[in-house]
């Protein structure tokens, strides 16, 4: 099969189209013919080698943690049948920038009929991070004040919509050019970080979700309520130290590490089916132009998501 893969760690130019073996599904796995693959910042972090302690030294390596496609082959007793439209977040091994991939059934979910392959591919990793991050230290209740930093990005754009779906009052932090976008997502208040430090406010939040990991617990303490939680998407050594200190204080610090759970994706798919949550795809690139897509995601300026198209809709 055709895949966009790397033979060594390095810049975007390492991404090359190559012929690789068709993956074989094990028991409780499904072979999916990929129509579109989502792009996430973790993809370029793996490509560059900065996560090599996790991604290892086996090459060629097919990147890509998000896919949408059609079931090609499944176990006889599987809940999935050939022809089903499915999407999934893959494990850290990746494999999404290709014509086919095998996926554990527990990571899969049917794509709601109304959702395109591109929008489906743009969703799993970012939306799961948003959902699982927002749920840290308890569910959100009606009227809870939640601040989302990086509201215009992949994780942030889903977080605004999911928090609103849970009944939260959402303050979104973004730059001037994205104010209208985050208001369309449903944000109640918007803070333009290019004009004002978002921690310079009298409001107090139950949760501060730092979707772009550009702030810190110490900086956000003053805008969290007495029992408030700061949640970052960057699980750094500092945050582990903070987690130990959590035992001694009411305000808490936490980091989300996304899990590829089909059950959580089903929850998100239901919100998408009802039109409550949507993926926003800024740009779709053909598979062969993956290097250009990587250059764009590395700018940290993407609005919503970008995807690779393997089979056009």
Choices 5-13, 47-55, 68-76, 252-260 (CB under 6 A): range interacting with ligand NAP: 252-260
Q: Position of tokens 């050939």? A: 82
For position 173 contacting ligand NAP by CB under 6 A, the verdict is: yes
For position 162 contacting ligand NAP by CB under 6 A, the verdict is: no
Angstrom distances, CA of residue 16 to CA of 20, 83, 151, 289: 12, 29, 32, 9
Q: Tell which positions 4-33 bind ligand NAP, by CB under 6 A.
A: none
Q: Position of tokens 């939680």? A: 229
Cβ nearer to ligand NAP, comparing 51 with 165:
51
For position 293 contacting ligand NAP by CB under 6 A, the verdict is: no
List the one residue from 126, 166, 265, 268 that touches ligand NAP (CB under 6 A): 126
Tokens of 255: 């980091």
Angstrom distances, CA of residue 203 to CA of 1, 212, 216: 54, 21, 17
Q: What is the DSSP letter of 98?
A: B
Q: What is the DSSP letter of 125?
A: H
Q: What are phi and psi of 303, to 5 degrees?
A: -95, 120
List the one residue from 14, 55, 123, 152 that touches ligand NAP (CB under 6 A): 152
Give the 3-state secondary structure of residue 91: coil
List the one residue from 98, 110, 134, 213 that touches ligand NAP (CB under 6 A): 213
Q: Tell which positions 129-148 bind ligand NAP, by CB under 6 A.
A: 129
Binding site for ligand NAP (CB under 6 A): 40-42, 125-126, 129, 149-150, 152-156, 173-175, 178, 193, 211-214, 233, 235, 256-258, 297, 300-303
């Amino acid at each position: 099969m055709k895949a966009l893969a790397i033979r060594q760690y390095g810049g975007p130019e390492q991404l090359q189209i190559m012929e690789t073996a068709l993956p074989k599904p094990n028991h409780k796995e499904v072979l999916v013919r990929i129509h579109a693959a989502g792009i996430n910042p973790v993809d370029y972090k793996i490509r560059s080698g900065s996560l090599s302690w996790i991604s290892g030294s086996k090459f060629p390596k097919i990147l890509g943690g998000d896919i949408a496609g059609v079931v090609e082959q499944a176990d006889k007793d599987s809940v999935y049948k050939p022809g089903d439209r499915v999407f999934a977040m893959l494990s850290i091994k990746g494999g999404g920038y290709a014509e086919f991939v095998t996926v554990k059934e527990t990571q899969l979910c049917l794509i709601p009929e109304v959702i395109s392959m591109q929008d489906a591919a743009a969703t799993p990793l970012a939306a799961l991070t948003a959902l699982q991050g927002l749920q840290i230290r308890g569910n959100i209740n009606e009227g809870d004040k939640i601040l989302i930093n990086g509201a215009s990005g992949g994780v942030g754009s889903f977080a605004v919509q999911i928090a609103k779906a849970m009944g939260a009052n959402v303050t979104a932090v973004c730059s001037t050019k994205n104010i209208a976008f985050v208001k369309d997502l449903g944000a109640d208040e918007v803070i333009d970080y290019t004009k004002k430090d978002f921690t310079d406010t009298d409001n107090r939040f139950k949760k501060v979700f730092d979707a772009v990991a550009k702030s810190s617990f110490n900086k956000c303490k003053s805008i969290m309520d007495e029992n408030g939680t700061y949640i970052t998407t960057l699980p750094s050594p500092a945050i582990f130290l903070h987690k130990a200190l959590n035992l001694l204080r009411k305000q808490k610090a936490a980091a989300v590490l996304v899990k590829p759970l089909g059950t959580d994706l089903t929850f998100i798919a239901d919100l998408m089916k009802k039109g409550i949550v949507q993926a926003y795809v800024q740009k779709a690139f053909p598979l062969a132009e993956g290097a250009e897509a990587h250059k764009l995601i590395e700018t940290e300026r993407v609005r919503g998501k970008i995807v690779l198209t393997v089979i056009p809709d």
